[in-house]
Amino acid sequence: MSFVDYFKYVDNQYYGEELSLSEIAAKVGTPCYVYSRATIERQWRVFDSAFDSYPHRVCYSVKANSNLAVLDVLTRLGSGFDIVSAGELHRVMRAGGDAGKIVFSGVGKSDTELCHALKAGVGCLNIESESELHRIQAVAQELRVKAPISIRVNPDVDANTHPYIATGLRDSKFGLGARDAERVFVLAAAMPNIEIKGIACHIGSQLTETRPFIDSLEKLIDFIGQLARVGIGLSHIDIGGGLGIIYHNESPPTPDQYANALINVLKRRKCNLPIIIQPGRAIVGNAGVLLTRVEYLKMSSDRNFAVVDAGMNDLLRPALYQGFHEILPVRLSGSSTRHAYDIVGPVCESADYLGKGRVLDIGEGDLLVVRSVGAYGFSMSSEYNSRLRLAEVMIDRDKYYVIRKRQTVDQSMENESLLPR
């Protein structure tokens, strides 16, 4: 089965589930992120059921979208979570998530973060260096617990994606090469407060073919054989996240194709270890849009600009990765005065754009939606240019909930102070 989303035109008006986005804009103001609960639920279920024939756990990657209501929706489905900070841990716990279903990834976990994670009882710490292993042993000893760990290996596979989101090549800061990983596993096996659970990898994000996933799984299974020869047994394989979505004209594998490709490898190699998968984008990417209003149209003989009220601080992906997001008018006018526009924000940076050369029939004051921003949209936003964090809304059929209020001026300054007089 493929993913679908529940955003579409009904009578020339753009809708999320059963609500018109003009109505949301009128009630909540712009800019704001709007998510569809049904889309998130469907994507998670489609993903999870694709792996039905093999023991598995889906651990949603919280960094993609960490709003409490999003985590709440996923918790109710029984999801596990992939986290990378104590902040994400606290969010999952606040949303009622099960600590035992959490995997904690990341190259720089601090003592405090490790302590919080071990006290909460997270299911697995994915270790990325030898120093981290020693650190975890020390923290676990202090707390008198056994730390469940995996070691993240770097399979040296080219994910064929944007260089900023490729993580599986040999020169990446993530994971350990096979030789180092074996040494660290042997060290871990001898440590009193460490319990080896598994092996982990994550080769990159927005992958649009199955080949790199297959290649890295093959390498992981080779490596598991190597570990068995030195007497180290594992109880799971964490294959990371990374399945791509359709932003424009990509044709990523469907969750079924992705799952089948992986399960075929596992079965052919007679591996029966349960797997953990950490999808982020594939679950929430297409489940969110950014609703923004055209402030000014600036026409010239060289270029036309539509200056909108959302900027790169609200949605960084175009500026940082040249990410493409479809941009559509909320109301289709039916007139034929179309022009090509660069859709730009109010931030004082030339990189502040949401889309380039988009052919649209729009006027000042019109609403636009920027599609497929449910993942790495709000979660990567900032207050650059002292712009207030925008509101987030969740549509649930014919109702909507403000799941994050727009930040106020006072809130934006509440942790700062003037110097003493």
Residues at the contact surface with ligand LLP, assessed by CB under 6 A: 61, 64, 82, 105, 165, 202, 205-206, 240-243, 278-282, 317, 321, 375-376, 380
Residue of 115, 124, 271, 348 with catalytic role:
348
In the complex, the smallest distance separating the C-beta of residue 211 from ligand LLP, rounded to whole angstroms, is 16
Per the annotation, the verdict on 348 as an active-site residue is yes
Buried b (16+ CB within 10 A) or exposed e, 81-99: bbbbbbebbebbbebebbb
Q: Do residues 199 and 237 touch, judged by C-beta distance below 8 A? A: yes
In the complex, the smallest distance separating the C-beta of residue 184 from ligand LLP, rounded to whole angstroms, is 17
Q: Which residues contact 219 (CB under 8 A, 6 or more apart)?
A: 153, 155, 156, 157, 178
Distance CA 390, CA 367 (A): 16
> Nearest 5°: phi and psi at 114?
-65, -40
List residues bridging with 126 in a β-sheet. 150
In the complex, the smallest distance separating the C-beta of residue 333 from ligand LLP, rounded to whole angstroms, is 32
Question: Which of 75, 105 has the CB closer to ligand LLP?
Answer: 105
Residues present in the chain in total: 421
In the complex, the smallest distance separating the C-beta of residue 376 from ligand LLP, rounded to whole angstroms, is 3
Question: Which of 61, 313 has the CB closer to ligand LLP?
Answer: 61
Question: Which of 354, 380 has the CB closer to ligand LLP?
Answer: 380
Q: Do residues 289 and 34 touch, judged by C-beta distance below 8 A? A: yes
In the block, residue with structure tokens 């003493």: 420
Distance CA 291, CA 33 (A): 6
Name the CA radius of gyration of the chain, rounded: 23
In the complex, the smallest distance separating the C-beta of residue 316 from ligand LLP, rounded to whole angstroms, is 8
Question: Which of 329, 377 has the CB closer to ligand LLP?
Answer: 377
Question: Which of 6, 376 has the CB closer to ligand LLP?
Answer: 376
In the complex, the smallest distance separating the C-beta of residue 287 from ligand LLP, rounded to whole angstroms, is 13
Omega before 31 cis (within 30°)? yes
In the complex, the smallest distance separating the C-beta of residue 420 from ligand LLP, rounded to whole angstroms, is 40
Paired sense of beta strands 305-308 and 13-16, if any: unpaired
Instruction: Using CA atoms of 314, 315, 319, 321 in order, give the dihedral in degrees to the nearest 10.
Output: 150
Q: State the first-to-last Cα distance of the chain, in angstroms, to the nearest integer.
A: 65
In the block, residue with structure tokens 């600009």: 305
Whole-Å CA distances, 241 to 75, 99, 178, 403: 18, 19, 20, 26
Distance CA 143, CA 146 (A): 9
Question: Which of 262, 362 has the CB closer to ligand LLP?
Answer: 262
3-state secondary structure 123-160: CEEEECCHHHHHHHHHHHHHHCCCEEEEEEECCCCCCC
Question: Which of 124, 191 has the CB closer to ligand LLP?
Answer: 124
Give the chain's largest Cα–Cα span: 73
* Residues acting as catalytic residues: 348
